[in-house]
């Protein structure tokens, strides 16, 4: 039905630079999920900073402070490839990132270079083709930005070069108490007659001037054990790669990436070739770029840091440091489920599941209750485990039984690095700060764990990883709530995420409970476990306090938390008044907790939802040109509530609100904290506008909905994954759905909203053709079988080819709104 030229489709999103970057953070990204770098140029050279996802200077037991001199991660070495002369000048310069091949190519005066980081091995591979009349020697410098030995109290950071024939190998090590981490970078110019210049901080490989092609290979490795010779690991990887020509290494690399791109697609056109086409095409390119960046950064043992990812460029500098925020990390992964890139979520779930035992301890130590408490922020190896006496002091401060000024020096000393402990012992107002009393972060992780199960049907994964998250976080809330005289369960003294502090009946917490408790019950039923807990969880959800309404006295008393009498409110006034980090928290019952969806169809709740979305404060400001300094999810909600006609305006204004760089990254969190695609929000919003597979209420069977928030002015075709393991392909032309194709991976019953509102014919590959009708079409499926859906009377759909022109110049859009504002964006450099 659809003939997809994937090379052409993905190449339409290539990053094209017709001039050298002005700063390193504008570089083009390459990576393999474990190691990565931006690629940028100066007049005579190409620059790289090799970073890894598994290199951390300190762990959770660090004795120093957060944001101190040792709070850094990722950086392994700086590389400068000096080609002599000034080949990369403005007039003749071109740099292209091919997304389909995951390869950067650079052309200058008489010289061209191409490079990639292998998808199947930890090696950066370069090919230099010097065709200048007077070729120049090549200098490859591997260096470290720190002195060879840096001691900061009990912490040591040191590096040294080890001797390797015809190669350079830089090893760095970090040690402190129980922490050891090391990395190595090895480099070789695959050519005879090279020699090496050496000093303490840099070694340079020099090869004589010669016309023609030169291959360069750079490898990396890391280790958490001092018994491992990490330098030799890097050297062995280097030697294996250097024995193979560029084209052979490239072929293995391309095979992985080409298979990756064939999983799903989105292609958008405008019916009238108007300016709206620019917006639609641009946002589909943003989606491709997000998937590219996630595949380049999330295939290792740890997820990428949202702040800089594997692409920092100034040594150890990384705004916000080495710890992980749930909010900004989880957003990167929201769109990967529907994009059928679920394998890329492995590092994310693996890290937080490794945290789980320590999070159970944190629930006891910090809150004094059972369950699993995932702090909003934590080091890569989880929350810090405190000595018993210190834990009692910290808990007393967190629960308001003791002033933070009364902490002993011993307790204070244990709480300066772990971000959550630091804000408990250094609060902003009373005992509160932005993340001090955020209780919902674990529930957000648990929601995504359920999503992963429903997309994959992997019961073993649910048992070993998903259900523990659901059970632990639900139990935490069950023990946190307090039962009132009226029999209802209430919450006191928790934050409405970072927005409102110390509130009563935070809408965030109530949504977290309503969103996850039914999922925990359903998961326990599937796994046939925890019968006694299921009954307790049902009792909790049956007697949970309702969402705060604007008409409540306590809602109106909380400054900034009120929208309207007939809309949801942030919560009731508790210990702290006022708003502290506006995040449109009223919308969390819709997303991510899915307590209301377009399938709910409850008239009273529908009215509340639409009124709340209408009055939530950020989108009107963004439409008016406001700039964002925090990662709100409001655009996703606009797709979830079906506001398709406004999708172009939402996407155009939201993208521009972060003042993104020419490579699609944004510095809204600060220097060297550049984030990928506004953390995936554009991609999630776009995909949710095309396809939703949501339940009427949490835990119930999902209903597939096609184009639930799609503008009539855009024609499109897509293939995306729905929950229940249904791969859905469809297209819409001039507002009419032309066909639906469903591939059943799990053999579940398929429920899909009728896209034609008339009787439909379903053609199965191995089943007889049948007709069905109604608002929701429901039919049995067999695992591995394909089903074609067409309106009755139509037995075929003309095949069409999708083969857009590859990008030849920077990609741009500009959209003027009725309010007089114009929103613009560009990927690439003129």
C-alpha–C-alpha distance, residues 49 and 47, integer Å:
7
In this prediction, residue 277 carries a pLDDT of: 58
Same domain, 371 and 496: yes
Domain that holds residue 477: 324-597+604-616
Same domain, 257 and 328: no
CB 652 within 8 A of CB 813: yes
pLDDT beyond 90 at 491 = yes
Domain boundary among 561, 581, 616: 616
Which 8-state DSSP code applies to residue 682? Answer: H
Q: In 611-660, which ranges are E strands?
A: none
Same domain, 231 and 99: yes
Phi, psi of 656 (to 5 degrees): -70, -25
pLDDT beyond 80 at 282 = yes
- Tens of pLDDT along 351-400? 999 999 999 999 999 999 999 999 999 999 999 999 999 999 999 999 99
Segment 336-342 mean pLDDT: 99
Same domain, 427 and 515: yes
Count of helix runs (H) and strand runs (E) in the chain: 20, 38
160 is a domain residue: yes
pLDDT > 70: percent of the chain: 99
In this prediction, residue 275 carries a pLDDT of: 47
In this prediction, residue 452 carries a pLDDT of: 99
CB 751 within 8 A of CB 786: no
In this prediction, residue 159 carries a pLDDT of: 98
Same domain, 383 and 501: yes
In this prediction, residue 367 carries a pLDDT of: 99
Same domain, 370 and 258: no
- Tens of pLDDT along 656-692? 999 999 999 999 999 999 999 999 999 999 999 999 9
What lies within 8 Å, CB to CB, of 422 at 6+ separation is: 65, 66, 415, 416
288 is a domain residue: no
Same domain, 331 and 220: no
- Tens of pLDDT along 588-620? 999 999 999 999 999 999 999 999 999 999 999
pLDDT beyond 90 at 91 = no
In this prediction, residue 274 carries a pLDDT of: 52
Same domain, 236 and 338: no
In this prediction, residue 272 carries a pLDDT of: 58
Segment 454-472 mean pLDDT: 99
Mean of the per-residue pLDDT values of the chain: 97
Return the bridge partners of 760, or none.
Answer: 772, 791
Residues in the chain, total: 830
585 is a domain residue: yes
Same domain, 521 and 611: yes
Phi, psi of 297 (to 5 degrees): -130, -10
In this prediction, residue 795 carries a pLDDT of: 78
Domain count along the chain: 2
CATH at 70: 2.70.98.50
80 is a domain residue: yes
Same domain, 100 and 224: yes
Confidence of residue 273 (pLDDT cuts 50, 70, 90): low
Domain boundary among 217, 243, 262: 262
Domain boundary among 551, 582, 616: 616
17 is a domain residue: no
96 is a domain residue: yes
If phi over 0 gives left and psi between -120 and 50 gives alpha, with beta otherwise, what is residue 371?
left
527 is a domain residue: yes
Phi, psi of 166 (to 5 degrees): 60, 15
Whether pTM exceeds 0.95: yes
CATH at 407: 1.50.10.10
Same domain, 342 and 250: no
CB 591 within 8 A of CB 577: no
Same domain, 555 and 485: yes
- Tens of pLDDT along 185-232? 999 999 999 999 999 899 999 999 999 999 999 999 999 999 999 999
336 is a domain residue: yes
Exposed (0-12), middle (13-18) or buried (19+): which is 809, by Cβ within 10 Å?
Answer: exposed
């Amino acid at each position: 039905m659809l003939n997809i030229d994937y090379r052409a489709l993905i190449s339409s999103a290539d990053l094209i630079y017709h001039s050298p970057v002005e700063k390193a953070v504008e570089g083009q990204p390459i990576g393999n999920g474990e190691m990565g770098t931006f690629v940028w140029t100066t007049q005579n050279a190409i620059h790289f900073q090799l970073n890894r996802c598994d290199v951390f200077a300190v762990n959770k037991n660090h004795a120093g402070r957060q944001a101190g001199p040792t709070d850094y991660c990722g950086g392994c070495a700086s590389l400068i490839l000096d080609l002599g002369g000034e080949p990369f000048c403005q007039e003749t310069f071109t740099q292209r990132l091919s997304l389909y091949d995951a390869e950067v190519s650079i052309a200058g005066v008489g010289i061209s270079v191409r490079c990639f980081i292998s998808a199947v091995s930890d090696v950066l591979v370069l090919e230099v083709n010097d065709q200048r009349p007077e070729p120049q020697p090549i200098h490859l410098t591997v260096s470290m930005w720190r002195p060879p030995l840096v001691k900061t109290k009990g912490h040591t950071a040191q590096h040294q070069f080890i001797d390797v024939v015809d190669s350079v190998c830089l090893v760095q090590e970090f040690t402190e108490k129980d922490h050891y981490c090391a990395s190595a970078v090895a480099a070789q110019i695959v050519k005879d007659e090279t020699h090496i210049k050496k000093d303490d901080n840099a070694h340079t490989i020099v090869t004589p001037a010669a016309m023609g092609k030169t291959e360069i290979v750079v490898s990396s490795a890391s280790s958490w054990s001092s018994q491992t010779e990490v330098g030799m690991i890097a050297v062995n990887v280097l030697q294996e790669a250097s024995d193979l020509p560029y084209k052979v290494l490239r072929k293995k690399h391309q095979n992985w990436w080409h298979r990756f791109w064939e999983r799903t697609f989105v292609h958008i056109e405008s019916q009238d070739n108007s300016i709206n086409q620019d917006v639609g095409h641009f946002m589909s390119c943003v989606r491709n770029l997000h998937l590219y960046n996630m595949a380049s950064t999330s295939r290792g043992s740890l997820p990428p840091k949202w702040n800089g990812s594997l692409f920092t460029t100034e040594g150890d500098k990384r705004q916000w440091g080495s710890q992980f925020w749930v909010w900004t990390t989880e957003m990167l992964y929201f769109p990967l489920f529907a994009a059928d890139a679920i394998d890329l979520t492995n590092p994310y779930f693996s890290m937080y599941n490794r945290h789980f035992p320590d999070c159970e301890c944190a629930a006891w130590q910090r809150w004094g209750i059972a369950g699993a408490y995932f702090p909003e922020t934590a080091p890569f190896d989880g929350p810090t485990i405190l000595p018993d006496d210190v834990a009692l002091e910290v808990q007393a401060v967190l629960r308001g039984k003791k002033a933070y000024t009364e902490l002993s020096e011993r307790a204070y000393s244990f709480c300066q690095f772990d971000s959550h402990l630091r804000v408990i012992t250094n609060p902003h107002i009373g005992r509160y700060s932005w993340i001090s009393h955020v209780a919902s972060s674990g529930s957000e992780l648990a929601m995504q764990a359920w999503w992963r199960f429903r997309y994959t049907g992997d019961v073993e994964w649910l048992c070993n990883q998903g259900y523990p998250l659901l059970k632990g976080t639900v139990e935490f809330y069950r023990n946190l709530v307090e039962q009132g005289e009226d029999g209802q369960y209430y919450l006191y003294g928790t934050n409405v995420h970072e927005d409102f502090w110390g509130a009563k009946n935070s809408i965030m917490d109530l949504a977290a409970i309503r969103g996850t408790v039914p999922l925990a019950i359903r998961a326990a039923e599937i796994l046939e476990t925890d019968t006694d807990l299921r009954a307790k969880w049902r009792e909790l959800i049956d007697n949970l306090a309702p969402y705060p309404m604007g008409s409540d006295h306590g809602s109106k008393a909380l400054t900034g938390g009120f929208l309207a009498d007939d809309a949801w409110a942030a919560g009731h006034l508790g210990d702290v008044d006022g708003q502290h980090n506006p995040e449109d928290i009223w919308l969390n019952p819709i997303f991510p907790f899915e307590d209301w969806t377009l399938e709910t169809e409850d008239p009273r709740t529908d009215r509340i939802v639409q009124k709340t979305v209408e009055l939530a404060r950020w989108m009107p400001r963004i439409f008016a040109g406001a700039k964002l300094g925090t990662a709100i999810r409001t655009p996703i909600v606009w797709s979830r509530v079906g506001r398709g006609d406004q999708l172009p305006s939402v996407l155009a204004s939201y993208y521009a609100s972060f003042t993104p760089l020419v490579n699609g990254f944004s510095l809204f969190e600060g220097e060297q904290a550049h984030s990928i695609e506004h953390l995936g929000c554009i991609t999630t919003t776009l995909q949710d506008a095309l396809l939703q597979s949501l339940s009427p209420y949490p835990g119930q069977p999902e209903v597939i909905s096609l184009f639930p928030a799609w503008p009539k002015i855009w024609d499109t075709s897509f293939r995306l994954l729905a929950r229940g393991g249904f791969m859905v392909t469809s297209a819409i032309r001039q507002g009419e759905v032309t066909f639906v194709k469903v591939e059943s991976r799990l053999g579940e019953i398929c429920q899909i909203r009728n896209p034609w509102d008339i009787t439909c014919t379903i053609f199965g590959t191995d089943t007889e053709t049948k007709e069905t009708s109604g608002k929701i079409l429901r039919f049995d499926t067999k695992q591995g079988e394909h089903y074609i859906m067409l309106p009755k009377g139509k037995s075929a759909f003309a095949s069409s080819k999708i083969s857009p022109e590859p990008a030849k110049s920077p990609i741009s859009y500009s959209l003027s709104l009725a309010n007089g504002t114009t929103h613009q964006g560009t990927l690439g450099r003129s």
